[in-house]
Amino acid sequence: MSEENNVAEAAKANLSAFYAQKAGMTRIFDSNGNSVPVTVLKLIPNVISQVKTVENDGYEAYQIAYQEKREKLVSKPKKGHLKKAGVDKAFNRMAEVKSGNAIDAALLGQEVNLENFGADTYIDVTGTTKGKGFQGVQKRYGFRGGPASHGSHFHRRPGSIGNRATPGRVFAGKKMPGHMGDKTRTVQNLKIVELNTEQGYMLVKGSVPGSKNGFVRVSKSIKKA
C-alpha cells in the first residue's frame, strides 16, 4: 500500500454508527445453495462536521453530516457550519453519534471509516417506516372483523370500545383507527453478509425499516458482539 493510501486510511474516523441509504431488497445464495434474503444499503459519505465536548456543549459526541446535495439546495447556515469544519462538500442532513472512547478533536472534517462493519458483524438498523395514512383496525392491528355476508352490517368496524357508567370513558391506548406508519423504528441483531466499499454497498440479512431511497442509521449491536 502506498504512502498516500496510508494517509487516506488514517484520515478516517472509527465510530460506532453511520448513515446509509436503503436501495431495496434482493437475495443471494450461500455456500450451501440456500437462498438468503438481504437488504442492499448504499454507502454514502459520512463526514464529521462537529466535535462536541463537555467544555463547550456539556456532553461528548460527534456530529455526522450526510446526504450530499448540490450547493444551491443547501441552506447558508449549513454551508457555513460545514465550511467552519473544513468540509468542502454540501451536506443537507446532520446527526450525532456518541463515542464510547475519548473525544478526538483532530477528527473534525474527516470521513467515517467502515472497517468495523465487516461481514458477520451484528448491527442495529434504525429508520422511518413506510407511511400508510389513516387506516382502520383490520389493517392497522389485524382485527378479525365481522361476517362478510348474510345481511350483516358489521364488517370492518372495531366494535364496542367502552364500558358502562363506570369508568364511563375510553381507556388510553385503545386500539382504534388512526394514522399508521411513518414512525422511527429499530430492528436489532441483523447480520452483515457483505461489505463492499469499492462499489459502495452493504448487504444485510433480513429487512430494515423504511422505503426505497430512505436513510437509515446503522450502529453496532448493543445485544450481540
Q: Domain spans of the chain?
A: 20-44+114-142+176-225, 47-111
- According to the model, what pLDDT value does residue 1 have? 43
| Whether 180 contacts 141, CB under 8 Å | no
Strand-pairing partners, residue 202, are 41, 195
Q: What is the mean pLDDT of residues 73-96?
A: 95
Q: Give domain 47-111's CATH architecture.
A: 2-Layer Sandwich (3.30)
Residue in the block written with cell 450451501? 32
Residue 13 C-alpha cell reads as: 474516523
Residue in the block written with cell 472512547? 101
Q: Give domain 20-44+114-142+176-225's CATH architecture.
A: Beta Barrel (2.40)
Lowest mean per-residue pLDDT among 4-13, 37-46, 160-169: 4-13
Residue in the block written with cell 453478509? 193
Q: Got the DSSP string for 179-196? A: EES--EEEEEEEEEEEEE
Residues 127/130/133/134 CA torsion (nearest 10 deg): -80
pTM for this predicted structure: 0.85
